Amino acid sequence: MKILQAIKMKGSTFNFIQDLQVLKNPLVLVFGNRYMLQDKDLYREVRTLFPNGHIVFGTTSGEIMDANVYDGTVVLTAIEFEKSTFLVKAKNVVDFGNDDKSLGQQLMSEFSQEGLQHLFIVSEGSSVNGSALIHGVEINKLCKVGLSGGLCGDDDRFELTLSSYNEPPKEGQVVAIGFYGDTLEITSANFGGWTAFGPERIITKSKDNILYELDGKPALDLYKKYLGNKASELPKSALLYPLSVRTQGDSEPIVRTILNIDELENAMILAGDVPERSKVQLMMSTVDDIANGANLAAKIAMRNRKNKPELALLVSCIGRKLVMDQRTEEEVEEVISVIGPSAKITGFYSYGEMAPFEGQETCKLHNQTMTLTLFSE
């Protein structure tokens, strides 16, 4: 595995960390600030650098490279796989009438599962229901095939997210990268570090990822009451107080971030499904708890590995970044302390993370977690 990495600041060209070399058929991951990815010259610039590259773009709520977290930049990681192969496919939510489950099912059908080790998804994060997308992918995916990824971000604006494969970034795109090869070792894990508090309430009215009522009362009114003065800063302030959602039949609660609010319907739009009869509590966290959560996520990902990782893709939630503020890099440092200094690290802050719970095979949509996917060949 050969890896090149570069960073682009506003108004400058890409600055490569390693000496620039020609890579054969590279996978090129480009994560960056939405305004910079909207620049029409960016795609041409990356294509010139990697004329034979398979280029995947995704907007972020912060960029990760090595032990650093950036804002307002573009980070690039180009990977040449020497013993394995990959395949990239993309679909748009508009072509499926926003039926995200069908999109996921169709996307999965385009990958031969013979020799398929893992699927990594970079999805638009503005309108997609991540739970439905994952459900669609999981319908026909074999259990032995891993699944992880994230929903693109837009800082804390929640206005517009973009992604693409081999074309300029655009709205509504869901990109999947399939990794093939017997020599590949890919592991993924996630962990949060958030604590539930306050009364437990029952979801009495919801539809998919829209929450209307808790205990028969308007959910948005109740949430605003808890937030107090911070209610005027919604939806941004909601990132500091996500919801713990325990669905019937599930042993582990799922953390759900509120992506937007609907004042007219008095409802809250979340990143993933919130089924009726689920039990809900507010959550909060501290800088130390979040850093410890990242450390534990890395330990879970490393637990059964045979080889040291050469590449680490990190997807962490924007809510964690808002809590940690000036200390955000500490969670990346915690990951490095576990996986070792030799792995190249890239990733982004997101509106949602995809990975299975520890010990489970089925992927879930998470919020407020550090999710990492480790590669070696």
Find the CATH number of the domain harbouring 216.
Answer: 2.40.10
One domain for residues 233 and 267: yes
Q: State yes or no: pLDDT of 13 exceeds 80.
A: yes
Q: Which of 283, 300, 326 is the last residue of a domain?
A: 283
Residue 250 confidence (pLDDT)? 78
At residue 127, the pLDDT reads 87
Same domain? 267 vs 228: yes
**355 and 313 fall within a common domain:** yes
Query: Residue 235 pLDDT > 80, yes or no?
Result: yes
Final residue of a domain: which of 251, 268, 283? 283
d(CA 359, CA 345): 25
Tally helices (H) and strands (E) across the chain.
8, 26
Which band of pLDDT confidence, cut at 50, 70 and 90, is reported for residue 236? confident
When the pLDDT of each residue in the chain is averaged and rounded to a whole number, the result is 95
For 258, left (φ over 0), alpha (ψ -120 to 50), or beta? beta
274 and 334 share one domain? no
Cα torsion through 295, 296, 299, 304, rounded to 10: -160
Q: What percent of the chain has pLDDT over 70?
A: 100
DSSP string across 83-110: S-EEEEEEEEGGGGTT-HHHHHHHHHHT
Domain identity same for 74 and 184: yes
Same domain, 276 and 297: no
Q: Which of 259, 283, 307 is the last residue of a domain?
A: 283
Q: Which residues contact 97 (CB under 8 A, 6 or more apart)?
A: none
How high is the pLDDT of residue 249? 79
Residues 118, 363 contacting (CB under 8 angstroms): no
Residues 25-84 have pLDDT tens digits of 999 999 999 999 999 999 999 999 999 999 999 999 999 999 999 999 999 999 999 999
Let me know whether 111 and 154 are in one domain: yes
Quote the pLDDT of residue 357: 85
Q: Assess whether 34 and 125 both reside in one domain.
A: yes
Q: Which domain holds residue 278?
A: 195-283
User: Facing residues of 366 across strands?
Assistant: 353
Distances (CA, A) of 280 to 132, 216, 257, 283: 20, 13, 12, 10
- Unique residue bearing structure tokens 């305004």: 35
Task: Give the pLDDT mean for 96-115.
Answer: 96
Q: Are residues 56 and 181 in the same domain?
A: yes
Q: What one-character-per-residue DSSP string does 31-79 give?
A: EE-HHHHT-HHHHHHHHHH-TT-EEEEEE-SSEEETTEEESS-EEEEEE
Long-range CB pairs of 6-13 (<8 Å, 24+ gap) are 6/75, 6/76, 7/63, 7/65, 7/70, 7/73, 7/74, 7/75, 7/76, 8/32, 8/36, 8/73, 8/74, 8/75, 8/76, 9/72, 9/73, 10/36, 10/72, 10/73, 13/45
Mean pLDDT on 77-99: 97
Q: Are both 163 and 305 inside the same structural domain?
A: yes
Q: What pLDDT, in 10s, does the model give residues 247-306?
A: 987 778 999 988 889 999 999 999 889 999 999 999 999 999 999 999 999 999 999 899
Q: Could you give the percent of the chain with pLDDT greater than 90?
A: 88
**The predicted structure's pLDDT at residue 272:** 86
Examine the domain organization and report whether 242 and 303 are in the same domain: no
Total domains in the fold of the chain: 2
The pLDDT assigned to 248 comes to: 85
pLDDT tens per residue across span 290-333: 999 999 999 999 998 999 999 999 999 999 999 999 999 999 99
Which residue's structure tokens are 């949060």?
192
Query: Are residue 74 and residue 216 in the same domain, yes or no?
Result: no
Band of residue 193 on the pLDDT scale cut at 50, 70, 90:
very high
Integer angstrom CA distances of residue 196 from 70, 247, 254, 373: 30, 15, 11, 27
DSSP state of 346: E
pLDDT at 359 over 80: no
